[in-house]
Structure 1
Amino acid sequence: MTPLDELCQVPFHEADAPARARILSRLADTELFAALVAEPVGDNVELQIYDLPEGRFALACDQEERLAGFIGAPVAYVALPGRILAGALAEEGRGLLVNPGHPSQLMLDAGVLGWLVQALQTRPSMATTEAARALGAPTPEAVALLAEPLAQRLGDMSGLVGQLALVSAEWDGDGQRHALILRGVDSAHEAAVAKALAELLAFLPELPGGVDIGFSEGDYPAGALVIEPPPPPPAPEPARRGPAAPPRLR
């Protein structure tokens, strides 16, 4: 099971809109292996395009073995993030067939890919949390909508984010909103972290007032939903040579 498979417990085309959006968000960050007509020549590649009743589609899988297994033979391929592949195909008016025959099978036409590309262009709404008139506990609706997607996104940010808190925020003249407040983020990574969270929010139903993103080392308000990323995986231990192993030669 791949991360895409795990999100597709309900098949993509039978899932509700929030679930489909989360699958597309994961697809954007997944390395895909796209079938080529022939081996690349320099930087030039030509995708295999299949004429289907629904239109013209490229083929890609999230594992090399899946791609070769579907075609039934070794195949030339290019590996690139889903967001890059989606952008190239949307520009040409073509669709994308992903992981045929697996739980995460997706058939995405050019319109869906265009929507995906547009969502990925979302800019974060930044806020200085110290300027808020009041911070408090998030609404139950916000927790139900964001808790699980935020935990999954933080799983991709191990080592970059110390903690994240979802809070309600009240700004002068701007009414009630919500905010994501992050701790323990190196200033050099703040823009990338904010962009990744803004992309996640773009794939989810909008909360009334919207959600701002801020960085602060201050205390969280009572009732804040606090999420921590999992610890980084331990570094692999160096291989140990047996006492009877032959010497290494230079």
Structure 2
Amino acid sequence: MTNVVFIGRSIRHSLRNAEALIMAIMLPIMLMLLFTYVFGGAIDPGGNYVNYVVPGIILLCAGFGSSSTAVDVAQDMTNGIIDRFRTMPIRSLSVVTGHVVASLARNLVASIVVIGVALLVGFRPSANGIEWLAALGVIILFILTFTWLFAAIGLVTGSPSAASGYGFALLFLPYLSSAFVPTSTMPNWLQGFANHQPITPVIETIRGLLTGTPIQHQGWWAIGWCAVILIFSISWCFIAFRRNAGLR
């Protein structure tokens, strides 16, 4: 019941902060239009670049939305409201769980809007119903994983502005992956990082499910990376919240 209360609280906060939700949707859309219509002709003169770039844009959208969780959690930890919660029979992480679930719902809506716009600008997936569900499952797992990670960052930083800065740094990972160009086109010294960082297998899995490109072992790597980061992030949140908030 406590979790439901905090989920409702976080959703209400999201609805009141409409500007942040709009920006989380509009920025990935603007990037998709930029890469499709400005850079796409140079990268793929055949006009199929939109099918390549959309999976990366979906992940970028999820990352932008998840990063706001760090700021929301940091605000709760620094504005004094946690002092009030200390007097209540509240479970550990209930406050954070509310932010995570609200962020998951918010980011799913944003991702659906981005996919809709992608279809309007020429994205033509070949996925059947099962493949769409599998791609949605991977997207949900990714959003959940990185939302918990950003929540942990919000717990350990000293202010909302610091949380925003650390979260922004993580948003560069998609640019150093196969989101916008194949990793084979990168310098040799960068390919090793791009091929073995967490974002690349997630993008390749979603791209394979939606457009029919080979997935090979990338699906297992995507699930494995997300599982490891998720377990680490939840554990980090639990330890940091107990230490900083003094709640059960």
Q: Quickly name the TM-score band, shorter chain normalised.
A: under 0.3
* Bigger RCO (CA 8 Å, 6+ sep): 2
Instruction: Please identify which structure carries the higher strand content.
Output: 1
Instruction: Please identify which structure carries the higher helix content.
Output: 2
What TM-score comes out, normalization by structure 2 length?
0.26
What TM-score comes out, normalization by structure 1 length?
0.26
